[in-house]
Amino acid sequence: MVRRTEHPRRRRRRPTPHQPLKSSKTPRMPRLRAGADAKLKKVFAGIGTPEPAAFTPDPYQIEAVAAIKSSDCLVTAPTGAGKTWIALQAIAHQLQNNGSAWYASPLKALSNAKYAEFSEIFGADQVGILTGDRKENPEAPVIVGTTEILRNHLYDAMHLGRSLRTDLVILDEAHFLGDPERGVVWEEIMIYLPARIPLLLLSATIGNAYRIADWLAGIRGRKCAVVAETRRPVPLYPLFFHPSGTLLPFVAPTDAVGKPKLYRKVKEYLTARRQPRISLPGRLPPFGEMLSVLKKYNLLPAIFFLKSRADCDRALDLCRDYTPQNGDRRGRLAHRIRELVAGSPHIARHRQRWHLEHPAVGSHHSGQLPAWKLVLESLMTEGLLDAV
């Protein structure tokens, strides 16, 4: 046996307790300092809740409500323009005539929100919900659910030789028709839905509405009216969050004819040889500090879209030092959480409950329990959370 020995000059030195490895020191990023470009003063001044006023439907809403009573109807209007009001009027018309309605959306969270909204308007006994996670009051005259569930009901009806038990179908987010993976569900509903059942399509982003309407009329044998609205009642302002914590306009102001261009300071950042970073490579950004910046300019609540469920969960701990609530709001939040989890002991002990009650942030993704997602969605809808 040959024993290997190290040359004295090549012997590796082991660190002593008083001599830590250099790699053990993690560099720290500078804290964000809240700031905003002067050109955003006018934008920030317009943020807030408008004064209460009597509701008057827009002409396009009245036109769509009239159209769906005698034909199919495709409504395209910007987000916040009042498409849901059209759906509510169409559903109310069916209920007044002892009819029924199916409201389908592509997202479980959106279905949950519409179920709560419709239950408050029409009464809990008149509304049911069918998603992959929930099944409540399935025999109600108004059903809210995901588009896949509606397609499955249509399959079952055809297989059994029965007619689908509804007098109106509403497809929200109808632009999913063009989705490479899920668009086939929308296509099958439109193709197989009996022509006697009027179809109301709602979307904010359909660019070829008249072409789709012509196709629908051809396969269903009934007219499809197009009602389009281009005015955006709730303006959108794209902003750029500079790694220093300064908010900048994303695009430069331009006339209606010219194409928008990147704001000068944003372009300078993107073309710089050494760009400052908001976090170390491979690390999540300081969400708590970012929320403090957004809070200063009344830009909360916020929704952050991350690349994985694990990142959503890890982001919560980066908000531990963020303290948004005053005493009154924290009390209301804690009371509402107790109400929402009262009937579910396993939800009441959820490991992320602390983050809801203190930093007022939640992690929402497909890995969460359906009951916990409902808690998050309810709190966010009621304005009690600062971020999801």
CA distances from 274 to 251, 265, 277, 304 (A): 22, 15, 9, 26
For residues 6 and 206, what is the distance between their CA atoms, to the nearest angstrom? 73
Indicate the average pLDDT of the chain.
90
Q: Are 384 and 360 in contact, with CB atoms under 8 Å apart?
A: yes
Q: Give the pLDDT of residue 52.
A: 87
For residues 93 and 99, what is the distance between their CA atoms, to the nearest angstrom? 8
Task: Count other C-beta atoms under 10 Å from residue 279's C-beta.
Answer: 13
Position of tokens 């008249």? Answer: 210
Q: Give the pLDDT of residue 255.
A: 59
Interacting residues of 86 by C-beta distance below 8 A, sequence separation 6+? 61, 64, 65, 68, 75, 200, 202
Residue 284 token pair:
């999540």
Nearest Cα neighbor of 287 from 295, 357, 367, 377 is 295
Strands (E), the chain: 35-36, 72-76, 101-105, 127-130, 135-136, 142-146, 169-171, 199-203, 224-228, 239-241, 246-249
First to last CA, the chain: 64
pLDDT along the chain (388 residues), means of 10: 48 45 58 93 87 91 96 94 96 97 94 94 96 92 96 93 92 93 95 95 92 95 95 90 96 73 93 90 94 94 96 96 82 93 90 94 94 94 94
Q: Give the pLDDT of residue 18.
A: 41
Position of tokens 């942030």? Answer: 361
Residue 197 exposure: Cα atoms within 13 Å on the Cβ side: 24
For residues 299 and 324, what is the distance between their CA atoms, to the nearest angstrom? 13
Q: Are 76 and 114 in contact, with CB atoms under 8 Å apart?
A: no
Nearest Cα neighbor of 237 from 194, 298, 284 is 298
> Amino acid letter at 321?
D
Mapped onto helix, strand or coil, the DSSP state of residue 103 is strand
Q: Give the pLDDT of residue 1.
A: 45
Q: What ranges in 286-326 are assigned the alpha helix state H?
A: 287-296, 309-317
Q: Are 200 and 94 in contact, with CB atoms under 8 Å apart?
A: no
DSSP-derived secondary structure for 353-367: HHHHHTT-B---STT
CA distances from 311 to 159, 177, 314, 363, 382 (A): 43, 30, 5, 9, 25
Using CB atoms within 10 Å of the CB of residue 164, give its burial: 0 to 12 exposed, 13 to 18 middle, 19+ buried. Answer: buried
pTM for the complete prediction? 0.81
What are the tens digits of pLDDT across the range 277-334? 999 888 999 999 999 999 999 999 999 999 999 999 999 999 999 987 677 888 899 9
